[in-house]
Structure 1
Amino acid sequence: MKSAFGEGAMTQLAVSLDKSLLSTLDSITQVVHHFWMALPPHEIGKRIRAIREQVSMNVSTVADALSITEATVLALEDGQLDPIPGDYILIVSKLLETDFRYFISTDLDETENRTRQVFRSLEAPNANDAFAIRRFVSLCVSERDLETLLSIDRRTLPPQYPKQVDSSRLHKEQGPIAARQERDRLGLGTLPIKNIFQHVRSQGIRLFRHRLEDANLSGVTVVHPNAGVCMLINYDEDLYRQFFSAAHEYAHVLFDRSELNDSGCVLSYKYSNEELLELRANRFAAEFLLPVQALSKYSRPRGIEGLVKLIERIARDYHVNTAVVAQQVRQANWITQRTLDSFFQNLPVVIKRSQKTDPEIPANLTDAQSRRWTAAIEKGVTSYYMELLRRARTEEQITFGRFSEMLGLSVESAHDFVREAGIAL
């Protein structure tokens, strides 16, 4: 069988693949034969068009990226371009935030189906959020690939908490009870959780953050057929709100695994507190981040001024917003419901964004390095993912081209990022 692609395209494909895959095949030609054109041109074109339209990308954008005419792009999508140049597939896959293997084989069909399940669940889908979710799923798969490459065993998920009858009262009680049990299981006592993201990852869950335009969408939890349970937290939210969202999504993993397995995903919206699953997750998150029992370490305040100062102090100590502290103070019966309602209405004290430190940004960075890290984090890169990439590159398990690709950057931009972010390769 003669390959439909020239030597340059085969070399480009080989560079993008991990050494672990290359070691299982005898030659670059076999890599191409193993993957390339398992699908006919009309199916490849159909898949490209479906995703392009899903993310509202114009034909002209694809044409510019491939340096071809719009008519040629339409011919590609109609299945009339045969053979399809290999570099077209690689460029389009990067443009559409989709693993190139989806366009050439059926290996990732289940992954794509799971991604579309998330899209169907969105209440206010838009192109930018569709890109963010596609990138999130791609990062989950890449993280799984890196762990496999580096022989890192994934920890099993935490135990599932039992369900009870469908009752709002029981759901309200289940959240805090499970939070206390989970803290006991993890040996946390009443101590503050310094990095909730790292904690969630330590429980066998993949967690990424990405800026989402839908301000009401706080988090997404997905059961991926290959990558396992994955969380996406809206980076556009206030940092302490992101901490709360991570704890909230963690509750879904602990309580709602059957729903996750059945539907493939759970989406958490800020205004869905009336739903029992969301109500329970919110109560869990508040108690998990700030146990009511922890309040016993503080002197009970006198007067409104003392209450406000104490709420601010506890918020800083436990890395939660003041509204969460006020809620927990109410649970401890330190204040009346009327006082709590007044606090929510007036919010007499808040912790400014500038006063909150992101635990994912390495310490002792220059301002320029910190800005570089921040820009990467808001596009989904995590400190854990970055460390996996760094190890894979320094141990020569992947090429720098693959390193760049897995960061979603060109090789030149990846060189700039490594230098400016102070990453040692």
Structure 2
Amino acid sequence: MNALIQRLISARKAAGISQAVAAERLSISRPTFIAIEKGTRDVKPEELMTLAKLYNTSLNRLMRQNAPPTQVAPHLRAVVEREGEDAGLDCAIAKLTEFVDDYMFLLDKVQGHAMPTPPPQPARSPLPVERFAERQAIEQRHRLGFGDREPIGSLRKTLDEIGVHVFIDGLDSKLAGLYAYIENFGYCILVNRRHPQARRRWTIAHEYGHFLFDRDRRGVDYAEPMQRKPENERFADAFAMHFLMPSEGVQRRFHDTYQQKGDVSVGDVLRIADYYGVSLMAMVLRLESLGLIRRNSWDAIKASGAKVRDIRAESGIEEIGDQDSVEIFPDRYLMLAIEAWSSEKITTSQFAKLMRKSIVEAREFAYTRSQQEDDNQSIIEFSLGDSLLHREQPTA
């Protein structure tokens, strides 16, 4: 199958459009459209323009000479433990494929851009998988500079800096995320933007656990996980818990609260959850596992019918804003796109399409990002004979 046909199929699936709808838009029969996607009938220039508009993509992308990274789809499909066809999953896989395709296009345009080397896969251990996950979480926290207590602020940015590509976009509600290791590119995570911030952070941490444990496989993280969890899922869950909620830090926050108030309420637990960027449910279950609160406390909270927003209002706790960017693409991709555009290696129209924004929005984003980078740069002027130490000036 030639590159054009592969790109047409990938773009249609990414747009979530059926063959019947596409055929109707072209005013041809569905069998004729299927023949186009099989390569037995040539697509006409005017049909190509119509499909590009229908799929919300560009002619430039469809006409790229290299095939899209289609190796993502079959590996993902091979481990899906669901019966029947899943249009939502097909659409998500196609999106991830398209995002990777655009990323590789930019890397080709901006020659010489060095990608960070992801951490090596740890050697397997004879320890029980949950204990092994805990040890790996502690090691990763120290490796990334967070130690035993501190919360992980911008998780997405942290992983981007070590070469793990995290994309965020709207997915089918039952999908939390996808993960895939793509040769000659790296490890990719696609997270559902429709989920709350705390859930997105958990999904990213969970998928990073897969990266450490079984990066040679591909998989799907469903919002409602399977009842019998395989070893890799147990590792990823345990890793996410210890990675986001380190036992030493959580216990210290809990005991500090108790010392100040002589008690710990649900509102206090919510404050600790906000501090670590996790959900109230995740923190309650974590405190249960540490033996700091009664077993089945979360079941009791659920049975009460109390909503998190009501607990916030009653406890005077403000809603926290997004700690991570909700842009579709990670920072490194955005930087590449702006560099390619500013150096005129891509057109303004291409830039907007690669950013998934209108031309006006893309220009404004590039300007704002450039201003932020300029503001973050500080210049220290000194001569070779000056001391680099900060000393107070002598008074007259």
Q: Confirm or deny a common fold (TM above 0.5).
A: yes
1:385 aligns with 2:322: no
Which AA in structure 1 matches 2:203? S
Which AA in structure 2 matches 1:207? V
Q: Aligned to 2:293, what secondary structure does the other structure show?
A: coil
Separation of aligned partners in 2, 1:143 and 1:46: 17
1:359 aligns with 2:320: no
1:278 aligns with 2:220: no
Separation of aligned partners in 2, 1:148 and 1:107: 11
Equivalent position of 1:145 in the other structure: 105
For the 8 Å contact 2:130–2:235, the answer to whether it is kept is yes
1:293 pairs with 248, 260, 264, which one? 248
Equivalent position of 1:194 in the other structure: 153
| Gapped regions of structure 2 (runs ≥ 5) | 371-396
Alignment of 1:33-52 (within 5 A): 39=2
Equivalent position of 1:248 in the other structure: 206
Cα distance, 1:58 vs. partner? 3.6
Equivalent position of 1:23 in the other structure: none
Alignment of 1:364-379 (within 5 A): 377=327
1:181 pairs with 139, 143, 146, which one? 139
Separation of aligned partners in 2, 1:160 and 1:344: 39
- The 1:309–1:45 alpha-carbon spacing in structure 2 relative to 1, beyond 3 Å, is closer
Report the identity percentage. 21
Q: Aligned to 1:277, what secondary structure does the other structure show?
A: helix
- The 1:74–1:342 alpha-carbon spacing in structure 2 relative to 1, beyond 3 Å, is closer
Cα distance, 1:414 vs. partner? 2.5
Alignment of 1:209-358 (within 5 A): 209-215=168-174, 217-258=175-216, 260=217, 265-269=218-222, 270-272=224-226, 274-275=228-229, 276-294=231-249, 295-297=251-253, 298-299=255-256, 301=258, 306-343=264-301, 345-346=303-304, 348=306, 350=308, 355-358=319-322
Deviation string, structure 1 residues 188-243 (Cα, Å, up to 9, x no partner) = 1121111111112122111101111142x212111123322110111111111100
Which AA in structure 2 matches 1:243? R
Cα distance, 1:293 vs. partner? 0.3
Which AA in structure 2 matches 1:268? D
Separation of aligned partners in 2, 1:325 and 1:239: 15
Cα distance, 1:250 vs. partner? 0.4
Separation of aligned partners in 2, 1:93 and 1:304: 64
Q: Aligned to 1:229, what secondary structure does the other structure show?
A: strand
- The 1:345–1:149 alpha-carbon spacing in structure 2 relative to 1, beyond 3 Å, is farther
Separation of aligned partners in 1, 2:293 and 2:197: 27
Which AA in structure 2 matches 1:272? M
Cα distance, 1:180 vs. partner? 1.0
Indicate the structure with greater helix content.
Answer: 1
Scaled by the length of structure 1, the TM-score of the pair is 0.69
Separation of aligned partners in 2, 1:74 and 1:384: 38
Which AA in structure 1 matches 2:278? V
| Gapped regions of structure 1 (runs ≥ 5) | 1-37, 362-373
Which AA in structure 1 matches 2:319? Q
For the 8 Å contact 2:73–2:93, the answer to whether it is kept is yes
Separation of aligned partners in 2, 1:160 and 1:194: 24
Please report the RMSD computed on the Cα atoms of aligned residues, expressed in angstroms.
3.9
For the 8 Å contact 2:179–2:219, the answer to whether it is kept is yes
- The 1:229–1:273 alpha-carbon spacing in structure 2 relative to 1, beyond 3 Å, is farther
Which AA in structure 2 matches 1:395? S
